[in-house]
Amino acid sequence: MNKFFQSLFSGDKLVIGIPYGWFILLVAIPLLIVMKISLSEMEATSVSNMISWVDGFPTLKLNFANYQFIFSDALYVKTYISSLKYAVLTTLICLAIGYPFAYFMARSPKHLQPMLLMLIMLPFWTSFLLRIYAWKTLLVSNGVINNILMSLHIIDSPIAMMNNSFSLIIGMVYSYLPFMILPLYANLSKLDLRYLEAAADLGASPFKAFWLITVPLSKAGIIAGSMLVFIPAVGEFVIPELLGGPDTLMIGRVLWDEFFSNNDWPMAAAVAVVMIALILVPMAILNRAEAKLEEAKS
Protein backbone atom coordinates (compact mmCIF):
# COMPACT_ATOMS: atom_id res chain seq x y z
CA MET A 1 0.00 0.00 0.00
CA ASN A 2 2.80 2.32 0.95
CA LYS A 3 4.55 1.53 -2.29
CA PHE A 4 1.40 2.26 -4.24
CA PHE A 5 1.17 5.75 -2.79
CA GLN A 6 4.85 6.29 -3.38
CA SER A 7 4.55 5.48 -7.06
CA LEU A 8 1.38 7.55 -7.30
CA PHE A 9 3.08 10.67 -6.01
CA SER A 10 6.47 10.18 -7.66
CA GLY A 11 7.90 13.20 -9.42
CA ASP A 12 7.35 12.19 -13.04
CA LYS A 13 3.71 11.23 -12.47
CA LEU A 14 3.13 14.54 -10.71
CA VAL A 15 4.62 16.46 -13.61
CA ILE A 16 2.40 14.67 -16.12
CA GLY A 17 -0.48 14.93 -13.68
CA ILE A 18 -0.60 18.73 -13.57
CA PRO A 19 -1.62 19.28 -17.22
CA TYR A 20 -3.95 16.28 -17.02
CA GLY A 21 -5.57 17.69 -13.89
CA TRP A 22 -5.91 21.04 -15.57
CA PHE A 23 -7.46 19.42 -18.61
CA ILE A 24 -9.94 17.34 -16.59
CA LEU A 25 -10.96 20.23 -14.35
CA LEU A 26 -11.26 22.96 -16.96
CA VAL A 27 -12.06 21.12 -20.20
CA ALA A 28 -13.42 17.64 -19.68
CA ILE A 29 -15.77 18.30 -16.73
CA PRO A 30 -17.32 21.51 -18.17
CA LEU A 31 -17.75 19.75 -21.50
CA LEU A 32 -19.50 16.83 -19.80
CA ILE A 33 -21.77 19.26 -17.97
CA VAL A 34 -22.67 20.94 -21.27
CA MET A 35 -23.38 17.51 -22.79
CA LYS A 36 -25.49 16.60 -19.80
CA ILE A 37 -27.52 19.80 -20.10
CA SER A 38 -28.01 19.17 -23.81
CA LEU A 39 -29.69 15.86 -22.98
CA SER A 40 -32.00 17.33 -20.34
CA GLU A 41 -35.33 19.12 -20.56
CA MET A 42 -36.09 22.66 -19.61
CA GLU A 43 -38.38 23.01 -16.62
CA ALA A 44 -39.58 26.56 -16.07
CA THR A 45 -36.39 28.27 -14.84
CA SER A 46 -34.07 25.30 -14.31
CA VAL A 47 -32.86 22.23 -16.10
CA SER A 48 -34.53 18.91 -15.27
CA ASN A 49 -32.69 16.23 -13.35
CA MET A 50 -31.42 13.45 -15.52
CA ILE A 51 -31.95 10.80 -12.88
CA SER A 52 -35.34 10.61 -11.29
CA TRP A 53 -36.69 8.16 -8.71
CA VAL A 54 -39.56 6.04 -9.93
CA ASP A 55 -40.97 3.52 -7.43
CA GLY A 56 -37.76 3.59 -5.46
CA PHE A 57 -35.61 2.83 -8.52
CA PRO A 58 -33.31 5.38 -10.20
CA THR A 59 -34.40 6.00 -13.79
CA LEU A 60 -32.18 7.63 -16.39
CA LYS A 61 -34.13 9.99 -18.57
CA LEU A 62 -32.31 11.12 -21.74
CA ASN A 63 -33.85 13.69 -23.97
CA PHE A 64 -32.60 13.55 -27.56
CA ALA A 65 -35.27 15.90 -28.83
CA ASN A 66 -32.87 18.87 -29.04
CA TYR A 67 -30.53 16.99 -31.35
CA GLN A 68 -33.39 15.71 -33.43
CA PHE A 69 -34.65 19.25 -33.75
CA ILE A 70 -31.24 20.61 -34.78
CA PHE A 71 -30.88 18.11 -37.59
CA SER A 72 -34.48 18.35 -38.76
CA ASP A 73 -34.74 22.13 -38.65
CA ALA A 74 -33.48 23.70 -41.88
CA LEU A 75 -32.40 26.89 -40.11
CA TYR A 76 -29.87 25.14 -37.87
CA VAL A 77 -28.40 23.08 -40.70
CA LYS A 78 -28.18 26.19 -42.86
CA THR A 79 -26.54 28.13 -40.07
CA TYR A 80 -23.93 25.44 -39.45
CA ILE A 81 -23.10 25.27 -43.14
CA SER A 82 -22.91 29.04 -43.39
CA SER A 83 -20.69 29.19 -40.27
CA LEU A 84 -18.31 26.66 -41.77
CA LYS A 85 -18.38 28.55 -45.07
CA TYR A 86 -17.42 31.87 -43.47
CA ALA A 87 -14.76 30.19 -41.32
CA VAL A 88 -13.21 28.43 -44.34
CA LEU A 89 -13.35 31.63 -46.37
CA THR A 90 -11.74 33.60 -43.55
CA THR A 91 -9.01 30.96 -43.19
CA LEU A 92 -8.25 30.94 -46.92
CA ILE A 93 -8.15 34.73 -47.21
CA CYS A 94 -5.96 34.96 -44.08
CA LEU A 95 -3.63 32.38 -45.63
CA ALA A 96 -3.53 34.22 -48.96
CA ILE A 97 -2.68 37.53 -47.27
CA GLY A 98 -0.70 36.12 -44.35
CA TYR A 99 1.68 33.87 -46.29
CA PRO A 100 3.35 36.57 -48.40
CA PHE A 101 3.28 38.80 -45.33
CA ALA A 102 5.11 36.21 -43.19
CA TYR A 103 7.42 35.33 -46.10
CA PHE A 104 8.69 38.87 -46.59
CA MET A 105 8.95 39.37 -42.84
CA ALA A 106 11.13 36.27 -42.56
CA ARG A 107 13.27 37.46 -45.49
CA SER A 108 13.67 41.05 -44.32
CA PRO A 109 16.94 42.16 -42.68
CA LYS A 110 17.43 40.49 -39.29
CA HIS A 111 17.51 43.79 -37.38
CA LEU A 112 14.12 44.86 -38.80
CA GLN A 113 12.28 41.66 -37.88
CA PRO A 114 11.56 42.44 -34.19
CA MET A 115 10.02 45.75 -35.24
CA LEU A 116 7.86 44.10 -37.91
CA LEU A 117 6.69 41.52 -35.35
CA MET A 118 5.83 44.39 -33.03
CA LEU A 119 3.72 46.01 -35.76
CA ILE A 120 1.78 42.74 -36.23
CA MET A 121 0.96 42.67 -32.52
CA LEU A 122 0.29 46.39 -32.20
CA PRO A 123 -3.50 46.13 -32.84
CA PHE A 124 -3.81 43.91 -29.75
CA TRP A 125 -3.00 46.94 -27.63
CA THR A 126 -6.37 48.42 -28.51
CA SER A 127 -9.59 46.82 -27.36
CA PHE A 128 -10.96 44.28 -29.80
CA LEU A 129 -14.46 45.78 -29.59
CA LEU A 130 -13.14 49.24 -30.34
CA ARG A 131 -11.38 48.01 -33.45
CA ILE A 132 -14.52 46.29 -34.73
CA TYR A 133 -16.55 49.45 -34.10
CA ALA A 134 -13.91 51.39 -36.01
CA TRP A 135 -14.63 49.22 -39.06
CA LYS A 136 -18.28 50.10 -38.68
CA THR A 137 -17.54 53.80 -39.03
CA LEU A 138 -15.45 53.06 -42.13
CA LEU A 139 -17.96 50.83 -43.87
CA VAL A 140 -21.42 52.32 -43.21
CA SER A 141 -23.29 54.14 -45.98
CA ASN A 142 -22.32 57.59 -44.69
CA GLY A 143 -19.01 56.30 -43.42
CA VAL A 144 -15.46 57.38 -44.26
CA ILE A 145 -14.94 55.21 -47.36
CA ASN A 146 -18.26 56.01 -49.02
CA ASN A 147 -17.88 59.72 -48.26
CA ILE A 148 -14.43 59.88 -49.82
CA LEU A 149 -15.49 57.95 -52.92
CA MET A 150 -18.55 60.16 -53.36
CA SER A 151 -16.68 63.42 -52.84
CA LEU A 152 -14.21 62.26 -55.49
CA HIS A 153 -17.23 61.52 -57.74
CA ILE A 154 -16.09 57.96 -58.27
CA ILE A 155 -19.52 56.74 -57.18
CA ASP A 156 -22.89 58.45 -57.14
CA SER A 157 -24.60 56.51 -54.39
CA PRO A 158 -23.03 54.79 -51.40
CA ILE A 159 -21.93 51.17 -51.82
CA ALA A 160 -23.58 48.75 -49.43
CA MET A 161 -20.57 47.47 -47.52
CA MET A 162 -22.04 47.15 -44.08
CA ASN A 163 -24.16 44.44 -42.42
CA ASN A 164 -23.55 41.91 -45.16
CA SER A 165 -21.07 39.11 -45.84
CA PHE A 166 -18.53 41.66 -47.13
CA SER A 167 -18.28 43.50 -43.83
CA LEU A 168 -18.36 40.20 -41.92
CA ILE A 169 -15.43 38.74 -43.88
CA ILE A 170 -13.46 42.01 -43.61
CA GLY A 171 -13.91 41.99 -39.84
CA MET A 172 -13.01 38.31 -39.44
CA VAL A 173 -9.95 38.47 -41.71
CA TYR A 174 -8.79 41.66 -40.01
CA SER A 175 -9.14 40.15 -36.53
CA TYR A 176 -7.64 36.75 -37.22
CA LEU A 177 -4.80 37.70 -39.60
CA PRO A 178 -2.13 37.95 -36.84
CA PHE A 179 -2.95 34.39 -35.74
CA MET A 180 -2.11 33.22 -39.26
CA ILE A 181 1.00 35.35 -39.68
CA LEU A 182 2.72 34.51 -36.39
CA PRO A 183 3.03 30.70 -36.76
CA LEU A 184 3.85 31.09 -40.46
CA TYR A 185 6.57 33.61 -39.68
CA ALA A 186 7.99 31.35 -36.96
CA ASN A 187 8.13 28.51 -39.48
CA LEU A 188 9.43 30.46 -42.50
CA SER A 189 12.16 32.25 -40.56
CA LYS A 190 13.62 28.85 -39.68
CA LEU A 191 13.72 27.65 -43.30
CA ASP A 192 17.25 26.69 -44.30
CA LEU A 193 18.03 28.88 -47.31
CA ARG A 194 20.51 26.31 -48.60
CA TYR A 195 17.53 24.23 -49.76
CA LEU A 196 16.58 27.06 -52.09
CA GLU A 197 20.16 27.32 -53.33
CA ALA A 198 20.19 23.56 -53.95
CA ALA A 199 16.91 23.87 -55.87
CA ALA A 200 18.31 26.72 -57.97
CA ASP A 201 21.48 24.73 -58.56
CA LEU A 202 19.39 21.84 -59.89
CA GLY A 203 17.59 24.11 -62.35
CA ALA A 204 14.54 25.37 -60.48
CA SER A 205 13.64 29.01 -61.13
CA PRO A 206 12.89 31.07 -57.99
CA PHE A 207 9.13 30.64 -58.67
CA LYS A 208 9.43 26.85 -58.99
CA ALA A 209 11.67 26.64 -55.92
CA PHE A 210 9.04 28.51 -53.92
CA TRP A 211 6.29 26.04 -54.81
CA LEU A 212 8.42 22.91 -54.64
CA ILE A 213 10.53 23.67 -51.58
CA THR A 214 9.34 26.64 -49.50
CA VAL A 215 5.63 25.81 -49.48
CA PRO A 216 5.94 22.06 -48.68
CA LEU A 217 8.52 22.78 -45.97
CA SER A 218 6.24 25.37 -44.35
CA LYS A 219 3.30 22.94 -44.19
CA ALA A 220 3.49 22.76 -40.39
CA GLY A 221 3.16 26.56 -40.20
CA ILE A 222 0.25 26.56 -42.66
CA ILE A 223 -1.56 23.92 -40.60
CA ALA A 224 -0.92 25.67 -37.27
CA GLY A 225 -2.04 29.05 -38.62
CA SER A 226 -5.14 27.58 -40.28
CA MET A 227 -6.16 25.84 -37.06
CA LEU A 228 -5.69 29.03 -35.04
CA VAL A 229 -7.93 30.93 -37.45
CA PHE A 230 -10.53 28.30 -38.38
CA ILE A 231 -11.47 27.05 -34.91
CA PRO A 232 -12.41 30.36 -33.27
CA ALA A 233 -13.85 31.64 -36.56
CA VAL A 234 -16.53 28.90 -36.66
CA GLY A 235 -17.98 29.93 -33.29
CA GLU A 236 -17.38 33.66 -33.69
CA PHE A 237 -20.15 35.75 -32.13
CA VAL A 238 -18.99 39.35 -31.68
CA ILE A 239 -17.94 40.07 -35.28
CA PRO A 240 -21.16 38.74 -36.92
CA GLU A 241 -23.16 40.54 -34.24
CA LEU A 242 -21.49 43.90 -34.92
CA LEU A 243 -20.57 43.72 -38.61
CA GLY A 244 -22.88 41.00 -39.94
CA GLY A 245 -26.38 41.42 -41.22
CA PRO A 246 -29.63 39.49 -41.35
CA ASP A 247 -28.26 37.27 -44.14
CA THR A 248 -24.98 36.38 -42.49
CA LEU A 249 -26.03 33.45 -40.37
CA MET A 250 -23.47 32.24 -37.88
CA ILE A 251 -23.86 29.66 -35.19
CA GLY A 252 -22.46 31.90 -32.46
CA ARG A 253 -25.44 34.22 -32.78
CA VAL A 254 -27.91 31.32 -32.70
CA LEU A 255 -26.20 30.07 -29.57
CA TRP A 256 -26.55 33.49 -27.95
CA ASP A 257 -30.24 33.68 -28.85
CA GLU A 258 -30.96 30.21 -27.41
CA PHE A 259 -29.21 31.02 -24.16
CA PHE A 260 -30.26 34.58 -23.54
CA SER A 261 -33.39 35.25 -25.61
CA ASN A 262 -35.16 31.90 -25.51
CA ASN A 263 -33.56 30.91 -22.22
CA ASP A 264 -33.51 27.33 -23.55
CA TRP A 265 -30.31 25.98 -22.00
CA PRO A 266 -30.61 22.37 -23.21
CA MET A 267 -31.15 23.54 -26.79
CA ALA A 268 -28.23 25.96 -26.57
CA ALA A 269 -26.05 23.22 -25.11
CA ALA A 270 -27.01 20.87 -27.94
CA VAL A 271 -26.13 23.55 -30.51
CA ALA A 272 -22.74 23.98 -28.81
CA VAL A 273 -22.04 20.24 -28.75
CA VAL A 274 -22.79 19.87 -32.46
CA MET A 275 -20.52 22.83 -33.16
CA ILE A 276 -17.67 21.21 -31.23
CA ALA A 277 -18.18 18.03 -33.21
CA LEU A 278 -18.06 20.02 -36.46
CA ILE A 279 -14.77 21.65 -35.47
CA LEU A 280 -13.30 18.43 -34.16
CA VAL A 281 -13.42 16.65 -37.51
CA PRO A 282 -11.22 19.05 -39.54
CA MET A 283 -9.02 19.54 -36.48
CA ALA A 284 -8.41 15.81 -36.18
CA ILE A 285 -7.45 15.65 -39.84
CA LEU A 286 -5.05 18.59 -39.54
CA ASN A 287 -3.64 17.23 -36.29
CA ARG A 288 -2.90 13.95 -37.95
CA ALA A 289 -1.11 15.69 -40.81
CA GLU A 290 0.92 17.69 -38.30
CA ALA A 291 1.84 14.59 -36.31
CA LYS A 292 3.02 12.99 -39.54
CA LEU A 293 5.22 16.01 -40.25
CA GLU A 294 6.69 15.87 -36.76
CA GLU A 295 7.39 12.20 -37.20
CA ALA A 296 9.17 12.89 -40.48
CA LYS A 297 11.38 15.47 -38.79
CA SER A 298 12.62 13.44 -35.86
Partner 1 sequence: MATAPKSQTENKSEKEVLLRVEGITKIYDGTVKAVDDVSLEVSKGEIFGLLGGSGCGKSTLLRMMAGFERPTKGKIYLAGQDITDVPPYQRPINMMFQSYALFPHLSVWENIAFGLKRDNMPKGEIATRVEEMLSLAQLNKFAQRKPHQLSGGQQQRVALARSLAKRPQLLLLDEPLGALDKKLRETTQLELVNIIEKVGVTCVLVTHDQEEAMTMCSRIAVMAEGYFLQIGEPDTIYEMPNSRQVADFIGNVNMFEGVVDEDEPDHVTINCAECTHYVGHGISGHSGQAVGVALRPEKIMLSKDKPIGKYNWCEGEVVEIVYFGDHTTYHLKTPTGMVIKAQEINNTRDLSCGLTWGDHAYMHWNDLAMVVLTH
Widest Cα–Cα separation across the chain: 86
123 versus 216: smaller Cβ distance to partner 1: 216
Count of residues that bind partner 1 according to CB under 8 A: 22
134 versus 198: smaller Cβ distance to partner 1: 198
78 versus 208: smaller Cβ distance to partner 1: 208
Evaluate the CA torsion angle 9, 11, 13, 15 in order and state its sign: positive
Separation CA 141–CA 159 (nearest Å): 7
Chain positions 238 to 297 lying near partner 1, rule: CB under 8 A, are 296-297
Told to check if 109 binds partner 1 by CB under 8 A, we report no
Contacts of 232 (CB under 8 A, 6+ apart): 176
Separation CA 144–CA 148 (nearest Å): 6
Work out how close the CB of 192 gets to partner 1 at its nearest, in angstroms, rounded to a whole number: 7
119 versus 198: smaller Cβ distance to partner 1: 198
What is the amino acid identity at position 47?
V
> For partner 1, what does the binding mask look like between residues 172 and 211, x meaning CB under 8 A?
--------------------x-xx-xxxxxxxxxx-x---
Work out how close the CB of 94 gets to partner 1 at its nearest, in angstroms, rounded to a whole number: 24
Cβ neighbour number for residue 17 with a 10 Å cutoff: 13
Contact 273, 34 (CB under 8 A): yes
Work out how close the CB of 27 gets to partner 1 at its nearest, in angstroms, rounded to a whole number: 34
Contact 177, 97 (CB under 8 A): yes
Angle between the N-to-C axes of helices 265-297 and 74-107, in degrees from 0 to 180, rounded to the nearest 10:
30
66 versus 218: smaller Cβ distance to partner 1: 218
What is the amino acid identity at position 107?
R
Work out how close the CB of 258 gets to partner 1 at its nearest, in angstroms, rounded to a whole number: 46
199 versus 224: smaller Cβ distance to partner 1: 199
Evaluate the CA torsion angle 104, 109, 112, 117 in order and state its sign: positive
Chain positions 218 to 237 lying near partner 1, rule: CB under 8 A, are 219
Work out how close the CB of 99 gets to partner 1 at its nearest, in angstroms, rounded to a whole number: 17
Residues that bind partner 1 (CB under 8 A): 192, 194-195, 197-206, 208, 212-213, 216-217, 219, 296-298
